[in-house]
Structure 1
Amino acid sequence: MLRREWLPDVLQALTPGPLQYRALLTAVRDTCQTVGSQATEERPGRRYLQDSVLNRTLASMRELGLLVRNREPTFPYRTTYEATVAGRELLDALEPLAAWAERHERTRVDDGNNDAGEG
Structure 2
Amino acid sequence: MVQRNTDVSVQVSGSHDTAACTVIEVLDRVSGKWAIGILIATAHGPVRFTELERSIKGISRRMLTLTLRNLERDGLLVRKVYPTVPPKVEYTATDIALELYESLASLTSWAERHRTAIAAARDAYDRAER
For the criterion TM > 0.5, the same-fold answer is: yes
- Identity rate, percent: 32
Shift of 1:96: 1.6
Which residue of 2 is the match for residue 50 of structure 1? 60
Query: Helix, strand or coil for the counterpart of 1:70?
Result: strand
Instruction: Provide the alpha-carbon RMSD of the alignment.
Output: 1.9
Q: Which has the higher contact order (CA 8 A, sep 6+)?
A: 1
Which residue of 2 is the match for residue 26 of structure 1? 54
Q: Is 1:108–1:114's contact at 8 Å kept on the other side of the alignment? A: no
Is residue 113 from structure 1 mapped to residue 117 from structure 2 by the alignment? no
Shift of 1:24: 1.1
Which residue of 2 is the match for residue 10 of structure 1? 38
- Superposed CA deviations along residues 10-65 of structure 1, whole A, max 9, x for unmatched, are 01112332121111111222xxxxxxxxxxxxxxxxxx211111111001000110
Which residue of 1 is the match for residue 18 of structure 2? none
Q: Is 2:43–2:97's contact at 8 Å kept on the other side of the alignment? A: no
Query: Helix, strand or coil for the counterpart of 2:92?
Result: strand
Q: Is 1:69–1:81's contact at 8 Å kept on the other side of the alignment? A: yes
> Which protein shows a greater Rg?
2
Alignment gaps of 5+ in structure 2:
1-25
Query: Helix, strand or coil for the counterpart of 1:65?
Result: coil
Shift of 1:101: 3.0
Shift of 1:95: 1.7
Shift of 1:88: 1.2
Is residue 94 from structure 1 mapped to residue 104 from structure 2 by the alignment? yes
Query: What TM-score, normalized by structure 1, do the two folds share?
Result: 0.69
Q: Is 1:13–1:24's contact at 8 Å kept on the other side of the alignment? A: yes
Query: Helix, strand or coil for the counterpart of 2:78?
Result: strand
